[in-house]
Amino acid sequence: MATETPTYLQKLKGIPKANFLFGPSPIQFLPRLSKELSPNGDVKVYAKRDDCNSGLAYGGNKVRKLEFLVADALAQGCDTLVSVGGVQSNHTRAVTAVATASGLKAVTVQEKWVPIDPPLYDKVGNILLSRLMGGDVRLNQEGFHIGHKEATKQAVEDVKARGGKPYYVPAGASDHVLGGLGFTNFVVELAEQEKLLGVYFDTLVVCSVTGSSHAGLITGAAAEGKGRKVIGIDASGKPEATKAQVARIARNTAKLLDPKLEIPDEAIVLDERFHEGIYGIPGPSTIEAMKTAARTDALITDPVYEGKSMAGMMQLIKEGSIKPGSNVLYVHLGGQPALNAYSSYFEEDTK
């Protein structure tokens, strides 16, 4: 007997999206990291590799989210995506990539979100890729916050002034009516993969800054109703603002998909212990976590996002907050192209 498709799935499947992904991103068991963190084998650690999700400029979590926004931009007849991020923003690299692949232009404002100037910081990594793809890259000195920025408003007006039709993409593709859909869909995708693997992931660990990856996972987990726990690891250094944005995006996404779907306060979990006090700068726990992942299962993480969420997951397992018997899914959001800009943090490291 056929079962009725849940309301949220009906709505999600009916929202137009572009096709930028290879398909479901792969799930990888991490045997050596699991043993390192749980010597008795009580906790098994897997990674869902959204860093390997697309052929567009090294992929990453933003590409998944931008599938929905680009479809909306094309439906509106826009010709230019306008967005903002830091100098080494994964997001602006992804915006430029999806614009290029869709026959659109990209204007990206690259701000001084990280108060450091290591060698070639504004020449290599993500910003190099954006320039290589022909993006209109604009550097300025405005600092970090997760809200909407004045410089992007000006960039939007510049596009209009030259006769173009801009489509504004907020930082991280997050604070947008469609921003949470990509990672709600991630949970749908994950549930299908679990059937094939014969594994249920009771705990998802994800980095959280602008918040829509985290929020989309919360919405997806609430909608499926299996009791799956989503733990966000703050990397913004401004956890109060991040948590508020995660809650808002999750609840707005839930209402978009099903007016009856509620997101309880206890579903919004943000661990504040691993941001190292500031966005974009790795501290000792970040670097140690990056080394551990790299030197066990050759899993490469970055110093801005994934190194911090890896540090969080490691500690949660070691301290027992993630219980024995758990199957943990580390949601790998990408970000490795920024590593070149942080080479000075790893010079002559033989330890």
Per-residue model confidence as pLDDT tens digits over 14-32: 999 999 999 999 999 999 9
Check whether residue 301 and residue 260 sit in a common domain.
Answer: yes
Give the closest residue to 178 by CA, choosing from 48, 47, 74, 305. Answer: 74
Q: How many other CB atoms are there within 10 angstroms of residue 319's CB atom?
A: 8
pLDDT > 70? residue 1: no
Check whether residue 156 and residue 220 sit in a common domain.
Answer: no
The helix/strand/coil state of 125 is helix
Tell me the catalytic residues. 89
State how far the alpha carbon of 185 is from the alpha carbons of 46, 57, 84, 251, in Å. 19, 22, 24, 15
Q: Is residue 138 part of a domain?
A: yes
144 confidence band (pLDDT: 50, 70, 90): confident
Global pTM value: 0.96
**110: amino acid identity, one letter:** Q
Please give the mean pLDDT across all residues of the chain: 95
Using CB atoms within 10 A of its CB, is residue 70 exposed (0-12), middle (13-18) or buried (19+)? buried
Q: Is residue 1 part of a domain?
A: no
**203 beta partners:** 229, 328
Mean pLDDT of 250-263: 97
Of the chain, the percentage scoring pLDDT greater than 70 comes to 98
Check whether residue 104 and residue 124 sit in a common domain.
Answer: yes
pLDDT > 60? residue 42: yes
pLDDT > 90? residue 145: no
* Predicted local confidence at residue 2, as pLDDT: 55
Q: Is residue 29 part of a domain?
A: yes
Query: What confidence tens digit (pLDDT) does each residue in 67-82 have?
Result: 999 999 999 999 999 9
Last residue of a domain, one of 173, 191, 215: 173
Structural domain containing residue 269? 7-57+177-346
Check whether residue 160 and residue 183 sit in a common domain.
Answer: no
Q: How many other CB atoms are there within 10 angstroms of residue 139's CB atom?
A: 12
pLDDT > 80? residue 331: yes
Query: What confidence tens digit (pLDDT) does each residue in 47-100 have?
Result: 999 999 999 999 999 999 999 999 999 999 999 999 999 999 999 999 999 999
Q: Is the dihedral of CA 276, 291, 95, 20 positive or negative?
A: negative
State how far the alpha carbon of 333 is from the alpha carbons of 59, 64, 162, 191, in Å. 9, 10, 35, 18
Counted domains in the chain: 2
Domain containing residue 89: CATH number:
3.40.50.1100
Give the closest residue to 73 by CA, choosing from 50, 112, 101, 39. Answer: 101
Q: Is residue 125 part of a domain?
A: yes
State the Cα–Cα distance between residues 318 and 325, nearest whole angstrom. Answer: 13
Q: Is residue 211 part of a domain?
A: yes
Mean pLDDT of 208-220: 98
Mean pLDDT of 131-154: 87
Check whether residue 202 and residue 326 sit in a common domain.
Answer: yes
* Predicted local confidence at residue 250, as pLDDT: 98
pLDDT > 60? residue 122: yes
